[in-house]
Amino acid sequence: MKILVIGGGGREHALCWKLSKGGSAEKIFCAPGNAGIAGVAECVPISDGDVKGLRDFAERQNIDLVIVGPELPLTRGAADSFKEAGIKVFGPAAYAAQLEGSKFFAKDFMREMSIPTADFADFTEYEPARAYLESAAYPLVIKADGLAAGKGVLVTSSKDEAQDFLKSLMLDGAHGGAGARIVVEECLVGEETSILAVCDGRDMVILTPSQDHKRAYDNDEGPNTGGMGAYSPVSIVTPALIETIREQVLQRVADGMKKRGTPFVGVIYAGMMLTAAGPKTLEFNVRFGDPEAQVVLPLIEGDLAQICLAAAEGRLAETKWEPARRTAMCVVMASGGYPGSYEKGKPINGLEAAGALDDVVVFHAGTAAKDGRIVTAGGRVLEVTGIGANLKEASDKAYDAVRLISWEGERHRTDIGKRDLARIN
């Protein structure tokens, strides 16, 4: 099978790595890829947002299956374009991708389908939004409606901070058109978890639950990021809780999209808050998470290519799934300054030594090859995953590898999985 993976980050490295472990991936291409992906796939210099260029390449190469990694090409209709060309694709149509592409669309959809979520209000004009924030009860959550790389969200108890964030979105254009509309939600209290399900439009299989760490610094302090680490599974997410989330959230997404004439094919990612009143939905993504993919994919038993192909062909019920028997933890190594401004081109040391450790995979998120060296090329640079029999073992392996890697300005969180480690010790 010839496979094209779209994207160039850590998630796509994890996808290509997992695909290379199966027996049915004869050839793997990745567009645009990165320096690490080049070790397991042939990188193609086509932007993940160039839908026409990607389709033309897939047609020339007689690609059997396309797997779309990031949200941007999905919202731009990549899956629709491949289907029109008769190419099998793992990823939802642009209409369904609005579940991630528009916070308002997602909240309105949840309201229609009776999916448990926070109460909300939405605004397209600055002055009504400013007045609402002036009289609202705090804490609350403010979200840019559109895609903002995980950074268009503020959770705050400060009226002044809320007004500053609103101004940055709606007047200053901090995230471009993403902030032209905003959603304001009640602040839910509890513990977060990410539940990912592979769906073929009708049937689904739920993958091992994971927990992301969004804040930049230890103890969940600092600004939101695209994610600073994750682990899977999560001890408090019981089989009974997963079944509740399947019935009240995931199945209602599949049913709702089928009802609207756009069956959901791909990954339904539900960001959940486990509140005292039960699980409530914070957000939807329409693809594998990053860094959740780096802990969920290593735990899948079987050939990922065949799983994705079965979903694309609507026959997921025929596949056999085995429960995960191990645990994985990922630690993100970032450039100094991330999620703000940062320098690129810093030579990275210790990659070979870290990669030689047993049960460790160093996924490249923002790297490039320059003058025979691997250098930094992004905010999140490496995502180091350790795999073990339990969370303590996975954590030790991941941090042992992290300590072997260095570059000027590197930083990472030292407390990934801390909450769960305290619970199980």
Domain ranges of the chain: 2-93, 119-186, 189-318, 327-424
pLDDT of 224 > 90? The answer is no
Domains 119-186 and 327-424 share a fold: no
Phi, psi of 200 (to 5 degrees): -110, 15
Phi, psi of 266 (to 5 degrees): 135, -145
Q: What is the CATH number of domain 2-93?
A: 3.40.50.20
Q: What share of the chain is helix, strand, coil (3-state, %, to 5)?
A: 35, 30, 35
Distance CA 271, CA 290 (A): 12
> What is the rounded end-to-end Cα distance, in angstroms, of the chain?
45
Say what the pTM is: 0.94
3-class secondary-structure state, position 329: strand
Domain 189-318: which topology? D-amino Acid Aminotransferase; Chain A, domain 1 (3.30.470)
pLDDT of 108 > 80? The answer is yes
Q: Residue 323: pLDDT band by 50, 70, 90 thresholds? A: confident
Q: Are 211 and 192 in contact (CB under 8 A)?
A: yes
Superfamily of domain 119-186, CATH level 4: ATP-grasp fold, A domain (3.30.1490.20)
pLDDT of 171 > 90? The answer is yes
pLDDT of 371 > 90? The answer is yes
Q: Residue 69: pLDDT band by 50, 70, 90 thresholds? A: very high
Residue 345, pLDDT score: 97
Superfamily of domain 327-424, CATH level 4: Phosphoribosylglycinamide synthetase, C-terminal domain (3.90.600.10)
Q: Whose structure tokens read 């705090």?
A: 138
Q: Residue 147: pLDDT band by 50, 70, 90 thresholds? A: confident
Which residue, 244, 137, 266, is CA-closest to 200?
266
Residue 18, pLDDT score: 97
For the segment 79-88, the average pLDDT, to the nearest whole number, is 97
